[in-house]
Amino acid sequence: MITIVARVLAETTDPDQQRSLIDDAGPIAMAFVVAIGIAMYFLWKSLSKQMKKIDPNLPPGRDSIEQAQDRQVIQDAIARGEAERKAAGSAPGADDTAQE
């Protein structure tokens, strides 16, 4: 459809005729925008209804368990690093300045 409109606009050289073609597209564009708005409203209502059906007490999924394990590994690494720093007797961030 866009190619048809582009071809018609390219073939017409009269500015008044081009303006009338463009002005005629206004109501069609508005109807299109309104139709999309109505569709979005019904999609929003449907999504809200489906979200209310979700049970918040569901057990965690595989991804949630893996993320929890990753967080635990990171916390263990941080704790191990702090313990090593204390054992070495240096202040936090001291080895950062020594490398510079």
21-32 pLDDT, tens digit each = 667 777 888 899
The residue-averaged pLDDT of 85-94 equals: 72
Whether 97 is covered by a domain: the verdict is no
Q: How many structural domains are present in the chain?
A: 2
Residues 76-98 as b or e (16 or more Cβ within 10 Å = b): eeeeeeeeeeeeeeeeeeeeeee
Cα dist. 60→1, 67, 73 in Å?
49, 10, 18
Check whether residue 11 and residue 1 sit in a common domain: yes
Check whether residue 53 and residue 64 sit in a common domain: no
Check whether residue 42 and residue 28 sit in a common domain: yes
Determine the pLDDT at residue 7: 74
Check whether residue 9 and residue 40 sit in a common domain: yes
Check whether residue 70 and residue 39 sit in a common domain: no
User: What's the pTM value of the predicted model, to 2 decimals?
Assistant: 0.41
Check whether residue 9 and residue 39 sit in a common domain: yes
Whether 15 is covered by a domain: the verdict is yes
Q: Which domain holds residue 74?
A: 59-90
